[in-house]
Amino acid sequence: MSAQWESISLGNVATLQRGFDLPHRIRKVGTVPIVTSSGIEDTHSEAKVKAPGVVTGRYGTIGEVFFVRQDFWPLNTTLYVSDFHGNDPLFVSYLLLTIDFHTHSGKSGVPGVNRNDLHTIVVRLPPTKAEQEAIAEALSDADAFVNSLEQLIAKKRQIKQGAMQELLTGRRRLPGFDVEWKIRRLDELGEFRKGSGITREQAQSGPIPCVRYGEIYTKHHDYIKAFRSWISQDVAQTATLLKNGDILFAGSGETKAEIGKCVAFVSDCEAYAGGDLVILRPRAVDALFLGYALNTPSINRQKASRGQGDAVVHISASALGEIRLPLPHQAEQTAIATILSDMDAEITALEDKLAKARRIKQGMMQELLTGRTRLI
């Protein structure tokens, strides 16, 4: 039978020590990382602590834990492990992640986290350092997979951003298309109408999908992929029915820089638009292309210049109608929109994979750091 895990106070596993003051005026150019409660934020010429190190926040950001692989300087807003008591440092960093630091914040009447309070917390510890190392290696592998997905997603987003800048301006043309782009006003492309109704309370009142203006800023990007609000049949009677191909603009917002953000509705399902939405129903234009093109920096600058108000900014249908954009032939619009939506689909699939990897890692931590699942 393998040896059992033991319950032990955190202070006997890792001694936490307050970091050191280092004002900006006395910092010197160097390669030594300065670790704050939010992570590595600067460098210095001198180290205070030998690597490997484990740092967490004492003030400011609380609850994050950082494993540092080179000699470093922990700031006075942090707590660092000054003595690992023979335990594996990487294992200790994962063990600290299982602690709810917020429940111990200000426990002794002092703002922030008190190391003496943390030292009394009872944790579970494997019987051997070898098991600690095996657990740390498994979790480190899971972290590496998560990090690789995050980096891949960031790279794909950059590629898509570059493609948008090239394809939506006509700087790069797709093979087979050579017809000159034309500058068109939005009010030449179709007719405008307004959304209506749908209060916050009504937004979860039934089974029929709807879009509210605030969701365009927070939930939807370029085109509607999934609905967030649902209304009853009674509420739908006073709302505006959407049609496949509609472009929905947020008619009000907090800043001129964001006013008029829009999304394309590309679906045949029954759905409705709430108030403070301006709807363009275009003719003979690819709506998905418009969803991308009308959120580009050059168009956003035009919308910002037409926004009215300070505390709350508004933009009208007539103001939106004056916006001018370069427009290719409809077949080229569709080809461009297809490329960009395929990129979106790839990024979404990677994001789903990332979310799953994070859930798996969290499950591994719950199993491995409690001893419920043993690796040795």
Which residues 6+ apart lie within 8 Å of 156 measured at CB?
343, 346, 347, 350
Q: Are 289 and 334 within 8 A, CB to CB?
A: yes
Q: Report the pLDDT value the prediction gives residue 309, as an integer from 0 to 100.
A: 93
Residue type, 271: A
Q: Are 122 and 7 within 8 A, CB to CB?
A: yes
Question: pTM here?
Answer: 0.85
Q: Are 122 and 71 within 8 A, CB to CB?
A: no
Burial class of 158 by CB neighbour count within 10 A (0 to 12, 13 to 18, 19+) = exposed
Q: Are 73 and 35 within 8 A, CB to CB?
A: yes
Length of the chain measured in residues: 376
Q: Which residues pair with 313 in a beta bridge?
A: 253
Buried/exposed 340-371: b ≥16 CB within 10 Å, e otherwise: bbebbeebeebeeebeebbeebeebbeebbeb
What DSSP string runs through 304-357?
A: HHH-B-SSSEE--HHHHHT-EEEE--HHHHHHHHHHHHHHHHHHHHHHHHHHHH
Please, what are the domains in the chain? 6-125 (3.90.220.20), 127-178+328-376 (1.10.287.1120), 182-327 (3.90.220.20)
What 3-state DSSP class applies to 210? Answer: strand
Q: First and final CA of the chain: distance in angstroms?
A: 11
Burial class of 171 by CB neighbour count within 10 A (0 to 12, 13 to 18, 19+) = exposed
Q: Report the pLDDT value the prediction gives residue 197, as an integer from 0 to 100.
A: 86
Per-residue pLDDT tens listing for the chain (376 residues)? 468 999 999 999 999 999 999 999 999 999 999 999 999 999 999 999 999 999 999 988 898 999 999 999 999 999 999 999 999 999 999 999 999 988 877 655 556 888 999 999 999 999 999 999 999 999 999 999 999 999 999 999 999 999 999 999 999 999 999 999 999 999 999 999 999 989 989 999 999 999 999 999 999 999 999 999 999 999 999 999 999 999 999 999 999 999 999 999 999 999 999 999 999 999 999 999 999 999 999 999 999 999 999 889 999 999 999 999 999 999 999 999 999 999 999 999 999 999 999 999 999 999 999 999 988 6
**Cα four-point dihedral sign 185, 191, 192, 198:** negative
Please give the Cα distance from 89 to 69 (Å, whole number): 10
Please give the Cα distance from 74 to 17 (Å, whole number): 10
Q: Is 295 left (phi over 0), alpha (psi -120 to 50) or beta?
A: alpha
